[in-house]
Structure 1
Amino acid sequence: MLNVKRMKDVQLEEVRRLIVVDTRQRSRIGGFSQLLDRPEVEVHIYDHHPPSGDDFSGDLEVVEQRGANTTIMTRLLRQRGLEPSPEEATVMLLGIYEDTGSFTFPSTTPQDLEAASYLLALGADLKVVTEIMSREMTSEQVMFLNQMLENAERYNIHGLDILVTVASSEEYLQDAAFLVHKLRAMEMPDGLFALLRMGDRILLVARSKVDELDVSKVAMEFGGGGHPTAASATIKDMTLHEAKDKLLGLLPRIIKPKLVAKDMMTTPLKTISPVTTIKEAHQIMQRYGLGILPVTADGKFLGLVTWEDVEKGVLHGLGSRAVGDFMRRDVPKVNPDAPLFEVYEHIVSGNQRLLPVVRDGKLLGGITKSDLLRALYTMTPPLEPRGSGSKRRNVKALLEERLPGELLELLREMGKTADEMEMKAYLVGGFVRDLFLGRENLDLDVVIEGDGISFAEAMGEKLGVTPKVHKPMGTAILSFGDRFRIDVATARLEYYPQPASPPRVERSSLKMDLYRRDFTINTLAIDLNPSSFGELIDFFGGQRDLKEKVIRVLHGLSFVEDPSRIFRALRFESRFGFKLGRQTESLMKAAISSGFVDRLSGHRLFLELRLILKEEDPLKVLIRMEDFGLLKVFHPKLSLAPRIRKLLSRTAEVLNWYRLLFLPEEVDQSTVYLLSLTEELGEAERAELLERLRIQGTLRKRLTDERREAQKALWRLRPQMDRWAVFELLEPFCLEILLYLMVLCEGKERQRLLADFISRSRHLRPELKGRDLQALGIPPGPHYQQILRRLLQARVRGEVEGREGEIELVKREFMAKMAGKE
């Protein structure tokens, strides 16, 4: 069918055109390479591989990076209007399937799928393709694959799982790449290298599934080539042992380290200047809980000073001396691209507590033992079987599943913008927590390692949104109408000058930013930068506590520094069905008994109480508050007496009833619950509570005057009253007060009257307006109000229906009288 000749039978001096397909590397075309330097030979190239240093040029070049070279040929045939026969289309489709690993190789492109679709339309036979692609192995192939399995060795090189195997056969074996594919499917390494001796030559087949390993560069070192994910080479004049030694020597140089110093470091670091006194350094370390501080001048790294150094300095009366006189200058440091093993050597072998990361003398960040341990935790340990180590978790698929497409694209854009500005962007806080709990939450918090405000302004310019900026805290808000909002913050560190006081803020790193948060379940972060989009960062065991359903604080003084966290802990415990960790509960009780909650301002106490009353089941939280003696913080007489518990339970029922009416007016449930909670307090006690919580304005009026008037109205409400009398009695009150009356009300008839007013009567309005009355010939005047009020009364009583009914009433009761007067 094909006119194929051996190389030795080709008369090279007669060749005038050389057509090279599926490569453009001089070393891959053997003796034909001599034709490349002859000016009379026209060279045509059709290739789908990435460029390499061994490439030659041609008079005609069709070079496109595709998963299969056949994809290029298919496009060219379509452009020229040439249609392959069904048999030819089948062969071409087989080429695409083979080159793309049945569309599973990372090098596969959309154009490969389009070409396959076109060939199928021309009659390509998928049954034939399937039979050839899923062919059974011969006995020789089974034995050869078994040899590859027995000789396979795993290596951990820069954090990648690399499998290297060798096998020998005295005869040439067909489909070696097919056997490598089988081995790869069985072992699932990041990279696979098979050195297969067949007769007098060795075939190198290489595969990669990660960006850090470009196997085409490895193949080129052996005179071969290919794609970053799939490559091969034919090796001559070398034994298997020599080829393997060369391969293992090349891999550490060619593989990009999966983790380098800049990926592990904490940045920015808290630093001091060389003129800072030992006493000042001691105070800074105490304030931030630090054991070591870098010393810098104009950003240049000078040395380190430790807690032990400054403590001894203070004890020896040297507090007024500058740290520059005593700092440790000769300390090891690394550049930002230093590989993991170099960092490991310094910190573990050199027992270094903080390894500075420095470029051109400037301090970029630092790596601690915990940073190193976390990096090691994300990788498969060297020489361990698969499954024994933990890989870094990527939640990109979870984001794609849970988020609207528009919001997902916005997060990708934020990551790209952070990259462009040489910053790091992370999703943090409640959104990440709720993502794992399967709870809807479209209020997003993004932390920026860098300048959060300038980042928000750059995003605002791209999206046509004006950020709302708060410079003192380094925060900004990007609002997108009613759809969602994104809070952007500079990674910051907080410290509390005094217990229960507002924190002071300084710029810091992601790790320190997360460390200042309330509970471990709120410390998870998701990387948004393109190279690591979707990677989950868990410094403090948040995933574990979500799985175990436990609320834990991050450090022992958490409730002392911010006692309002006690209320949040109880809210989360109820909302998520979690439990307090044993130590967390103990720390909570200690903070309460020491009086730290009493130091909270009334405003902060009220904010926490209102959030509790907005929970799905406030009573559950209030019961826990009473267990811990927290209700007394608000007022000594505030308690969950039996009647109050009954009223709060009834409040939940009434609110659920109202929501099931699906009326447009939304209710502030916290106000209804607060009215019920304070029902047993006397007038003077309520006034004391309002002063304590600094409640003013409309809410204060509702809790006092309106409550009092509503209770009088409830006392006057009688079953025999008609709808209009009920309407006039209850009309002055807002929705929250009316629902409060439903809670208090006893007796089915009175409840029915209240329910009818809330669900029906209070929403009724006359259809006729003043302009309609004028159109009927009634001159404007004070009587308009009388007419409209009568129409409302008729609507409430059910005397009229619709516009026509109202017009008839106006004509009958008002226009006729007016005409009589005239």
Structure 2
Amino acid sequence: GGGAHGSDHEGCNLHGCQCCVVPRDFDVAVCHISTDFDSLAAAVGLARWRSAVTGEKAVVVVPGGEHPSVQRFLALYKQMLPLLFPAKAVDPRRLRWVGIVDNYRKERLGAAAEWPERAEQVAVYDHHRAATTNCDILNPNLTIQVDEVGATTTMIAEMLRDIGATLEPAEATLMALAIHFDTGNLTFETTTHRDVGALGWLMTQGATQRTINEFTHQMLSPEQQQMLNQGLQSLTRQSIHGLTLARVFLESETFRKGMSTVAQDILDLSGSDILILGITTKAKKKDSNEVQLSIIGRARARVDGIDMGEMFRLYGGGGHAKAASLSTKLPAEDAEPFVNDVADVVAGQIQPALMVEEFMNRSVVSCSVQTSMAQAKELLLAHDISGLVVLDDVDKLVGVITRYDIMMAELGNRTETPVTAWVTRPCKTLPPDAPLHDAERIMAEARIGRLPVIDAERKVIGIVTRTDVLRQRHLV
């Protein structure tokens, strides 16, 4: 009978009670809730690594919901990932080791939130810098590894490669997908050479390019398409220092999955530089006035000086400087004002535009209107430049001569003619107080590679080239 212990022995504290001894023999890698590809792939890889180094089986648990793309992947490939294990089947008393990936917050563990405190050992692997200082996961034997790479999966792939592990093609494909997703197919600023190297190794392990292509080109569901259309219709724009900040507030009766994809599409289709998207879901309790508010922030690579990940962490969210999210409960009437408050904080982080006079080249190579095309060519070659500023007799700007103009003069055997016959005029110019984005816009629209900077008297005081603009954009 149960006696003093009770029929199931729960809560028994009798010293030496052998009937209540539970072996610590369970190792588990845990994803975060709303599991994305990086979380799932890193967990699968980590479980494989743990099994290889200990000789004991480790499993993977998805503790609460998946991103729609991940759901679609698992619908097809779940049988090829035998490490997946249901959370409700885990006995926390048996936890020996818990590995946590792409997450450093207890609340994002969902059904597994209490597991770290019950386990003998816990290891956290993340590529978000904030994990080093903001991790709230507790365990006496806690280790945290944070590497600033494009994806947590990159870290795990390197660990597997270093022990000479061999993956199944489905595992390699999943991990390659994760790196592609979290690095924007290797285009995001957070991408490193390590991400490229990890992808290369995964290709040797049998990652399938056809599958990667299928899942990286996401098609919106009808529900997501509806939210996209609503977002584009309700979008409001604000111009700040030459950048466009877009705000979108949406309401939904039910939770909408995959809104991060919708947010990116709104950013792209609206031509905005920064997007703050808020969406509410009604509370499950009919008599409750509370809503669940999710806010997603996105910014283009050209936007400097903002860190949405750091700012969103103040509200319990997180992410990267230009891709972050947060979720909170609040009264329905406070939701839209809160989204606007968040957008205002982001707006306050936008730096004043860099002025042309701050980065223009003041050493301008020029020639007079009497200079021959042959002499102009010699000047271009001597200074290794592609264009010359042409000045009149009082040093005022006349126009610009380029290598193309000289090539045309050579084809016509007219290199002894003066540059005044070939000069491009009227010439596009900039004042010294023009912002960087004006220089970039004029160059793109006029398809030119250089812009003289002139003062009020049309005296040339500097020049801005494509290379100057690219350098300020950190693109060279």
Please give the range of the TM-score, normalised by the shorter of the 2 chains.
0.5 to 0.7
CA distance in 2, matches of 1:550, 1:214: 34
Per-residue CA distance 1:287-339 (angstroms, 9 max, x = gap) = xxxxxxxxxxxxxxxxxxxxxxxxxxxxxxxxxxxxxxxxxxxxxxxxxxxxx
CA distance in 2, matches of 1:79, 1:164: 45
Opposite residue 50 of structure 1, the aligned amino acid is R
CA distance in 1, matches of 2:432, 2:144: 44
Aligned length: 316
Opposite residue 144 of structure 2, the aligned amino acid is E
Structure 1: 5+ residue runs without aligned partners? 265-374, 376-391, 394-423, 445-481, 486-516, 559-564, 566-822
Give the corresponding residue for 1:5: 86
User: Cα–Cα, structure 1 residues 211 and 92, in superposed 2: closer, same or farther, change >3 Å?
Assistant: same
Partner of 1:172: helix, strand, or coil? Answer: coil
CA distance in 1, matches of 2:117, 2:363: 64
Per-residue CA distance 1:199-236 (angstroms, 9 max, x = gap) = 53332222122222212123213311111121122222
Give the corresponding residue for 2:275: 192
Give the corresponding residue for 1:576: none
CA distance in 2, matches of 1:520, 1:536: 20
Give the corresponding residue for 2:175: 92
User: Cα–Cα, structure 1 residues 24 and 143, in superposed 2: closer, same or farther, change >3 Å?
Assistant: same
2:212 corresponds to which of 109, 122, 129: 129
Give the corresponding residue for 1:605: none
User: Cα–Cα, structure 1 residues 44 and 525, in superposed 2: closer, same or farther, change >3 Å?
Assistant: farther
Per-residue CA distance 1:730-780 (angstroms, 9 max, x = gap) = xxxxxxxxxxxxxxxxxxxxxxxxxxxxxxxxxxxxxxxxxxxxxxxxxxx
Partner of 2:297: helix, strand, or coil? Answer: strand
Larger Rg: 1
1:204 maps onto 2:138 in alignment: no
Per-residue CA distance 1:128-168 (angstroms, 9 max, x = gap) = 11112224332222212112222222223465311121223
1:172 maps onto 2:255 in alignment: yes
Give the corresponding residue for 1:518: 395
Whether contact under 8 Å (1:106, 1:229) holds in the other structure is: no
Partner of 1:24: helix, strand, or coil? Answer: coil
Give the corresponding residue for 1:427: 361
Per-residue CA distance 1:16-53 (angstroms, 9 max, x = gap) = 43321002234433575556667x64220110112265
Give the corresponding residue for 2:307: 214
1:106 corresponds to which of 171, 176, 189: 189
Deviation of 1:71 (Å): 1.1
Give the corresponding residue for 1:275: none
Give the corresponding residue for 2:154: 71
Query: TM-score w.r.t. structure 1 length?
Result: 0.33
1:49 corresponds to which of 103, 122, 128: 128
Structure 2: 5+ residue runs without aligned partners? 1-81, 284-291, 386-393, 400-428, 461-476
Deviation of 1:60 (Å): 2.5
The Cα RMSD (Å) is: 4.6
Whether contact under 8 Å (1:204, 1:233) holds in the other structure is: yes
Partner of 1:17: helix, strand, or coil? Answer: strand
CA distance in 2, matches of 1:80, 1:223: 37
CA distance in 1, matches of 2:363, 2:86: 68
Whether contact under 8 Å (1:432, 1:525) holds in the other structure is: no
CA distance in 2, matches of 1:54, 1:552: 50
CA distance in 1, matches of 2:126, 2:161: 18
CA distance in 1, matches of 2:272, 2:214: 27
Opposite residue 427 of structure 1, the aligned amino acid is N
1:245 corresponds to which of 328, 337, 361: 337
CA distance in 2, matches of 1:521, 1:22: 59
User: Cα–Cα, structure 1 residues 440 and 207, in superposed 2: closer, same or farther, change >3 Å?
Assistant: farther
Partner of 1:65: helix, strand, or coil? Answer: coil
Whether contact under 8 Å (2:431, 2:454) holds in the other structure is: no
CA distance in 2, matches of 1:431, 1:242: 59
Deviation of 1:484 (Å): 7.6
Partner of 1:427: helix, strand, or coil? Answer: coil
Per-residue CA distance 1:664-694 (angstroms, 9 max, x = gap) = xxxxxxxxxxxxxxxxxxxxxxxxxxxxxxx
Give the corresponding residue for 2:72: none
Give the corresponding residue for 1:229: 322
Opposite residue 146 of structure 2, the aligned amino acid is V
User: Cα–Cα, structure 1 residues 521 and 194, in superposed 2: closer, same or farther, change >3 Å?
Assistant: farther
2:221 corresponds to which of 129, 138, 148: 138
Per-residue CA distance 1:783-809 (angstroms, 9 max, x = gap) = xxxxxxxxxxxxxxxxxxxxxxxxxxx
Whether contact under 8 Å (2:232, 2:270) holds in the other structure is: no
Opposite residue 198 of structure 2, the aligned amino acid is A
Opposite residue 319 of structure 2, the aligned amino acid is G
Partner of 1:108: helix, strand, or coil? Answer: coil
User: Cα–Cα, structure 1 residues 521 and 196, in superposed 2: closer, same or farther, change >3 Å?
Assistant: farther
CA distance in 2, matches of 1:190, 1:553: 31
Whether contact under 8 Å (1:429, 1:525) holds in the other structure is: no
User: Cα–Cα, structure 1 residues 91 and 552, in superposed 2: closer, same or farther, change >3 Å?
Assistant: closer
Per-residue CA distance 1:451-491 (angstroms, 9 max, x = gap) = xxxxxxxxxxxxxxxxxxxxxxxxxxxxxxx9889xxxxxx
User: Cα–Cα, structure 1 residues 426 and 184, in superposed 2: closer, same or farther, change >3 Å?
Assistant: closer
User: Cα–Cα, structure 1 residues 483 and 173, in superposed 2: closer, same or farther, change >3 Å?
Assistant: same
CA distance in 1, matches of 2:340, 2:453: 48
Query: TM-score w.r.t. structure 2 length?
Result: 0.55
Opposite residue 518 of structure 1, the aligned amino acid is D
Pairwise mapping of residues 676-687 of structure 1 onto structure 2 (< 5 A)? Answer: none
Opposite residue 323 of structure 2, the aligned amino acid is A
Give the corresponding residue for 1:506: none
User: Cα–Cα, structure 1 residues 71 and 432, in superposed 2: closer, same or farther, change >3 Å?
Assistant: farther
CA distance in 2, matches of 1:143, 1:62: 40
Opposite residue 297 of structure 2, the aligned amino acid is A
Instruction: Give the structure, 1 or 2, with the largest relative contact order (CA under 8 Å, sep 6 or more).
Output: 2
User: Cα–Cα, structure 1 residues 552 and 145, in superposed 2: closer, same or farther, change >3 Å?
Assistant: closer
Pairwise mapping of residues 219-618 of structure 1 onto structure 2 (< 5 A)? Answer: 219-239=312-332, 242-255=334-347, 257-260=349-352, 426-431=360-365, 518-520=395-397, 554-555=456-457
User: Cα–Cα, structure 1 residues 552 and 28, in superposed 2: closer, same or farther, change >3 Å?
Assistant: closer
Give the corresponding residue for 1:29: 109
Deviation of 1:13 (Å): 4.8
Deviation of 1:174 (Å): 3.1
CA distance in 1, matches of 2:224, 2:185: 21
Opposite residue 134 of structure 2, the aligned amino acid is D
User: Cα–Cα, structure 1 residues 248 and 169, in superposed 2: closer, same or farther, change >3 Å?
Assistant: closer
